[in-house]
Structure 1
Amino acid sequence: MLRKALRIAGLCLVMLCDWSALPMAAHAAPACHPRSFADYPAGSGNAPHPVAAQPLLTSKKAQQFRTAIRREFSEPANFAGHYRVAIWGCGTDCRDFAILDKETGSVYDMPGESEVVGIMGNNDERIDFRADSKLFIVSGCFNESESCLNKPEKLFYEWTGKTLQLIGQCPLEVEEVD
């Protein structure tokens, strides 16, 4: 089944994302517009900003992964200006994350979404971001979703300052694995 899904994903890429041409249930063809980090610049304030003493561990997820979050919070900002993306492993080819506000100590996650599971035959980073950009890219599947495993995607989000807003998606390029 995975082999068939990988062939279908590859066929879709050859057909420039025209999912409607595939023999599947009728779905609207997704728009495939990859995003660039440069198109989503983070604000560049030159004034010194306050730095929180520690992260605010108010959510269940933040409390559960407090050690990883505290360790990452002590490191410099690496996302969208003054934020730090904390990433930790959750098994083989699996990542989980939270976004830490270095100024306020707030800890943000994606409600209902946790692990990002990779797809065999895909060499992209599971989670990709830049210090000078609000673009956040997820390559793989959240929560081992069956629908995503059958049709893996690259998801593009824009950071709003409190949440990640989905702004686009494309089929994930995968090579067939024997």
Structure 2
Amino acid sequence: MAVEKKVRSPARKPGLWSALLLTLAAAGAASAASADSPKMADYPATPVAGTLQTIDMNSDPDAGMFKTRLGYLIGEPANFAGDNVLTFWGCGTGCQMLAMVNLPTGKVTVFSEELIASNGYCYRADSRLLMVNPLEEYMEPEDAYYFKTGFYLWDGSQFKLLAETAPVHPDGPCDIGE
């Protein structure tokens, strides 16, 4: 009696095809999100000359908790929306917190809950657009399933959410803080 050995071809392995289709769909979604995402150049700002000379620690109730970190900004030029200096720091695993100091006034704004990130920020001195959780150069969209990229517009007094997409790479060079 002959025994017939059944061999499954790779085409019949549901796991392999599912993974391939999922990868292609994620890459396509990221490309679409990237093409439709707000662009830094669409929200221009004119960078001011000079560097940060003073910080008003009384302008935000949380500023005192981050006095040392904010103090490192003295002497820095504007790096966001023309006349602001952004900085961020870690607040745990996969957590970054953002603060902004206005160059002319020294006014501090600590964004303790509103703009918490998992993968950092992308911003430029010549734009009012802030990307929260941009993909890093080496990352692929399917590697970043655990977060979304948010696009926020600074109107001079607050951030407004413009869009939230699958993770995307920045549309060009940007500062990522220190």
Mark the CA change 1:155 to 1:33 in structure 2 (over 3 Å): closer, same or farther. Answer: same
Is 2:100 the counterpart of 1:87?
no
Is 2:14 the counterpart of 1:13?
no
Mark the CA change 1:117 to 1:50 in structure 2 (over 3 Å): closer, same or farther. Answer: closer
Partner SS, residue 109 of structure 1: strand
Query: CA–CA distance in 2 between the matches of 1:59 and 1:81?
Result: 21
Query: CA–CA distance in 2 between the matches of 1:112 and 1:105?
Result: 21
Query: CA–CA distance in 2 between the matches of 1:50 and 1:103?
Result: 9
Aligned to 1:69: 70
Q: Greater RCO between the two (CA within 8 Å, min separation 6)?
A: 1
Query: CA–CA distance in 1 between the matches of 2:77 and 2:51?
Result: 13
Which structure's residues are more often helix, by fraction? 2
Partner SS, residue 77 of structure 1: coil
Query: CA–CA distance in 2 between the matches of 1:165 and 1:87?
Result: 19
Matched pairs, number: 140
Q: Deviation of residue 74 (structure 1)?
A: 3.2
Is 2:156 the counterpart of 1:161?
yes
What amino acid sits opposite 1:103 in the alignment? P
Unaligned stretches of 5+ in structure 1? 1-6, 18-29, 119-125, 141-148
- Output the TM-score relative to the length of structure 2: 0.62
Mark the CA change 1:151 to 1:87 in structure 2 (over 3 Å): closer, same or farther. Answer: closer
Mark the CA change 1:167 to 1:35 in structure 2 (over 3 Å): closer, same or farther. Answer: same
- Output the TM-score relative to the length of structure 1: 0.62
Aligned to 2:174: none
Aligned to 1:39: 42
Partner SS, residue 90 of structure 1: strand
Q: Rg: which structure is higher?
A: 2
Unaligned stretches of 5+ in structure 2? 1-19, 135-143, 170-178
Q: CA RMSD in A?
A: 3.6
State percent identity of aligned pairs.
Answer: 28
Aligned to 1:137: 131
What amino acid sits opposite 1:105 in the alignment? G
Query: CA–CA distance in 2 between the matches of 1:13 and 1:150?
Result: 9
8 Å Cα contact 1:9/1:172 also seen in 2: no
8 Å Cα contact 1:139/1:155 also seen in 2: yes
